[in-house]
Structure formats: C-alpha cells, structure tokens
Chains A and B, each alone.
Chain A
Amino acid sequence: MKKIYVGLLVLCFGVISLFGADGKALANKYKISASEKAGSQWNRVFDNESKMAKLGIDKLSADEKKALEAYLVAHAADSDAPAAAGM
C-alpha cells in the first residue's frame, strides 16, 4: 500500500513537472517583482497593451497572461502574501 502511495506521488510530481507552468515562473522569466506594485496597479497593467509591452509580456498567450496576473496580484505589495522560507 505504501509503495502504491509513493508511486502515485512520484507520478503526480512527474506529470506536473512535464505540463505545469505558473505565474511565478513567468514572473521570474521576465524579471518582474510582484511587490513593486499594488494589486489594483497590476490589474491596470494587464488592461493596457502598452504597459504590458513595456514589461515584454504583451505577446504572452491569454492563459499565460491570466496566470501571471493572478500571481502578481496575489503577491502584490498590498496582498495577503504567502509565507515560507526563501519565498
């Protein structure tokens, strides 16, 4: 039973590693720090093509933009920021 559990866990980890992509990874890629702006300011960035172009994120797909915006708003200067070591 324990082996099955560990196997399933490793499988989940692998599957997520293969297909996963999240806002944090995009923020790191484009060197954007979420804490530079408040949540409403990040919302304004994603409503404005020229502001997105300035950050180099205007060519991202709709899903990527959605994930990045969600991450930046969630980690914005005025957000309920997650807490963990090295985060």
Chain B
Amino acid sequence: MNKKIILSTALVSTLFAINLSAVSTEDRITALENEIKALKTGKANSKMVNEMDERLETVETRTIVDRISLGLGMRVEMNNMSTTYANGTSPANEDPIFRTKLNLNMKSDIADNLKFTGRLSSYKNWGDSNYDQMTMANMDAKQGRTPDNSSALYVERAYLDWALNNGSDYPMFLTIGRQPSSDGPSYQIKEGTTRKGTYDALAFDGAADGIVFTANLDKALPGTTSLRFAYGTPNNGSTYNSTTMKDTKVSGIFLDKTCSLLNADHLIQIYAVNAKDLMANPSLANPTTGASLDKNIGDLGLYGAMFEVQNVAGFDFFAHYAHSTAKPNGNTVDLSAMGYGTTEGLLSSSSTTSEATGHAIWVGTQYSMADWSVGAEYNQGSQNWFSFTFSPNDPINKLAARGDAKEVYVAKKINKYANIRLGYVDINYDYTGSGSWLGAPMDITNPFAATQVKESKNTYLTFNVLF
C-alpha cells in the first residue's frame, strides 16, 4: 500500500515538474522574444538617433558656416511737395517724387567679445538717371542716406563692437568703423521700430566713420547707463586728406540712460560735441580755372539733451533741446566767380571771427491703439541753428529748419514686419540757408532773400518693411 502511495506521489511530482518545466520554457521563450523585440526597437532607436545626429550635424555645420545673418529693410515712398518762395511765387511744376530705399542689414556674433553689424543701402529716385550735382550724393555722409540717380549699394554702416572686458561688472566696448549714427532717437517712434541709432536725431543724422568708447555703468546705477566718448572724421568737404586743408574732426561725450519705470520705457541723453576744422564745401568749383574753392572755415560746438518715454497707456512722448555755437576762423569762400557775387564763411558773409549761436527744440507725441497709431511733431530752429542732420529720411530736412515745422501722421501696421504711413509736414522758414553752414542766414523778409524758400509742404505716403 505504501509502495503504491509512494509511486503515485512520485508520478504526480514528475508530471508536475515536467509541467512546471514546460511553463518556464514558454515564459523564457516569451521573455526572449520580448528581449529580441526590445533589441530590435533599441536598434531602431539607435538608428534613429544616429540619423538625427547626422541631420543635427548638418544643421550645426550650416549654422557655424552661416557667419552673417541677413535682414531686409525696405521703404517705398511718395512725396508730394509744394514750395513757396519769399516773393510769393512757386515752381511752375512739382511732380510727386517716388523713391525706394533698400537696406540689407547684416549682423554676426563673431565671438563672445566681438560682434559685427552692417547695412548696405541703395536709395534711388524712381526713374532718375541724370546726374544731379546739387544733391551732392557723393558726399561721404550722404552715401546710402540721400536718394540719387544710382541704384548702387553703399556701405551705410559697418562696425565692430569689441567687448574689452567681457564678463566684468563694468563692461567697456569699442565700436570701430562706419557708425550707427543715423536714424537715432526719437526717430524710431514715428517709424514704429526699436531705437536705430546712437545719437539724438535733432543733432546728428547721417553716415559717419569713427571710433566710440562705451562704458556701461549698469552696476552703479539702476537701469542701463552708458557713457560714450566718440571720435570721427566725418569729412564734410570736397577733399579728403588734402595737402592744403585739415580734415574735419569730431569728438564728443554722451551720457545715455534707459530704464523701465511704471511699465514705461524711458531714454535720456545728454551730450557735448566739438567739430573742428569744418570745410566750406561749396558745391561747385571755379568755373574758369576748375580749381577747388574749398577752405577750412571754423569750428562748431553742439550741446543738447533729450528725453523720451514710451508706452504710457498707449502714448509716447519726446522732447529735445540742442544748442549750436559756430566759431568762424575768418576764412571765406569767394563765390563771385560762380555768379553769386558774395563771399561766405561759417554762418557769416565776411571775415568775421565772432561766434554765432543757435538753438532748436523738437517735441512730439504718438498714440497707438491696436494696429493704428497717430502722431504729431513740432520743431523750431533759430537764425543760426546748425546741426549735422545732413541725411535725414525726410526729403526736406525739417529738423534743420531755421523757422518752425509741424508734422502729423497716421500709421497702420500691415503685419509684424510692415507698416504704411500717411503724413503731412509744413515748414515755415524765418531765415535762409537752413541746413547749410556756409553764409550768414538772412531774414526771409530781406529783399535779397526774395527767391529763397519761405514755405515747404509735403504730403507723403510710405510703405515700410523691416524683416
């Protein structure tokens, strides 16, 4: 009996063991299958990772090789101008002037402590192929800034920002090359862009070569504070590196502060500039001998301050004041050979060395709502007001006016990168020669000023793209 029980137990145990063994093998097979699957998936993943790595390397290579990133700026404008002379007459014909400005903007982060910024520009009147010497488009400050008869690309900006002490609490920079000296504040408010230049647009607007030292004092003062020392040779004459004349040299100091206060953006700039050895730069040579009439005629000092605040419940405001002091050196240019019958010096018509001081103000506001903005500006310049706004974006250089100018405009954003603006400018000149440093400004009511411009009006339409 016991034997039977023992045999039965052994048999059951064997069968159970065999069964157990069978389950275990099945599980193992399943596990192995899973492992194979996982390996296959892993292999696939690994393959995918390798493929992605290759693709990323291609992108990385292109990023490394694409050393300069390019941007587009384009403005198409129509200016419908109307001119009235002091004697009450007007030109027989004033057709609307259409112009296109193309900016190819460049930037490159060369290294942590070195950046490049550039702008190649073409600014052309539509259908203009005749050489017009009176535009003096060959003048250095005007290249790429003043429309002419050529679609040539000029280097309007090309500068390196070199961080001298990267990572320091008081970073210092040298900006070397063709400077961002045009389209400065508060020009950007009307344009609907960020700040596009270093200097107060009431005093400076044009291309200029030079070197600027910037000390960033953010650590010492809240917000952003920059102290700048600038030096340049913005040759305003007919000859560069002449053997008979000194090149014009400009040096200046600028204190610039930006910050956000109560959710509004503020900018303050205070400056003092000295321009030495200005050249007369009469637009024509002696018609008989062909000799240049150019001479050094004196120095100019510019002092000013500006304040702007943006984004106050949709409003932007700005106010600028500048003071100019012309110091003639007694040299005059004899223009009698050119039929003018006059001699002219720095803001003078005789061999005087007396200082001539002038001043100007510029105020404006803009209100923005959704895609629309409306704005108004006013500026006024005194008899001897003179600045370096050789190359403004407006065709009648309103900020140089020795008189007063009013402007109103309405602008609409087409999309993030484009806007269209309709505006009206009315300038009343009280004195002659606005924007010129040659000759004594005359009261516009003087009989000798009968053929000078008394009033300029411009209704304009611009289409701007910045991408």
Q: Which residues of A contact B (CB under 8 A)?
A: 5-6, 9, 12-13, 16-25, 28, 35, 63, 66-67, 74, 79-87
Contacts and interface: CB of A to CB of B under 8 A. Distances in A.
B198 interface: yes
A23 B196 contact: no
B258 A83 contact: no
Given A17-B221, A22-B223, A85 B159 contact: yes
A24 B222 contact: no
B173 interface: yes
Contact of B257 (A16, A28, A82): A16
Contacts of A16: 222-223, 257, 259, 261, 266, 268
Contacts of A84: 180, 184, 195, 197-198, 256
B195 to A, nearest CB: 4
12 contacts: A5-B321, A19-B261, A21-B260, A22-B258, A22-B260, A81-B194, A82-B194, A83-B195, A84-B197, A85-B212, A85-B230, A86-B216
B196 A83 contact: yes
B175 A86 contact: yes
Interface residues of B, number: 45
Interface of B: 107, 109, 117, 157, 159, 161, 173-175, 179-180, 184, 193-198, 212, 214, 216, 218, 221-226, 228, 230, 256-261, 263, 265-266, 268, 270, 305, 307, 321, 466
Nearest to A17: B221
B161 A85 contact: yes
A82 B197 CA distance: 8
Nearest to B258: A22
Contacts of A67: 260
Contacts of B466: 80
A28 B168 CA distance: 10
Contacts of A24: 218, 223-224, 258
A85 B198 contact: yes
B184, B230, B256, B305: most-surrounded residue (chain A CB, <10 A): B305
A65 B425 CA distance: 41
A58 B263 CA distance: 20
A68 to B, nearest CB: 10
B230 A9 contact: no
A23 B224 CA distance: 9
Contacts, number: 103
A30 to B, nearest CB: 13
B261 A85 contact: no
Main secondary structure of the interface of A (DSSP, over half): helix
Contacts of A19: 222, 261
Contacts of A13: 257, 268, 270
A85 B268 contact: no
Contacts of B157: 83
Contacts of B261: 16, 19-20
A19 B228 CA distance: 23
Nearest to A13: B268
Nearest to B467: A80
A9 B222 contact: no
Nearest to B311: A70
Nearest to A74: B194
Contacts of A5: 305, 321
Nearest to A24: B224
Contacts of A20: 222-223, 259-261, 266
B307 A23 contact: no
A82 B187 CA distance: 12
B305 A86 contact: no
A71 B73 CA distance: 22
